[in-house]
């Protein structure tokens, strides 16, 4: 079967963290986290000052 796979493992985790910070600093009101490991979702949530919405995260 096709479909989306879990994202944010290895070096991609650092890129996703940087992207989340960038959109928060750009003025976003929230960030949607989809198909991330729970550890990364927790890290992103703790690392930015806007709400996160988890869809299949963790």
- Give dist(CA 11, CA 46) in Å, integer: 19
Q: Which of 11, 14, 25, 34 is catalytic?
A: 34
Tokens of 5: 């796979």
Tokens of 39: 């550890």
Beta strand extents in the chain (DSSP E only): 31-34, 52-55
Examine the residue annotation and report whether 11 is marked as an active-site residue of this protein: no
Catalytic residues: 34
């Amino acid at each position: 079967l096709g479909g989306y796979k879990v994202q944010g493992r290895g070096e991609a985790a650092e890129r996703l963290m940087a992207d989340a910070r960038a959109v928060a600093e750009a003025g976003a009101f929230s960030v949607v986290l989809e198909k991330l490991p729970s550890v990364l979702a927790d890290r992103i949530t703790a690392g930015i000052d806007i709400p996160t919405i988890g869809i299949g995260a963790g």
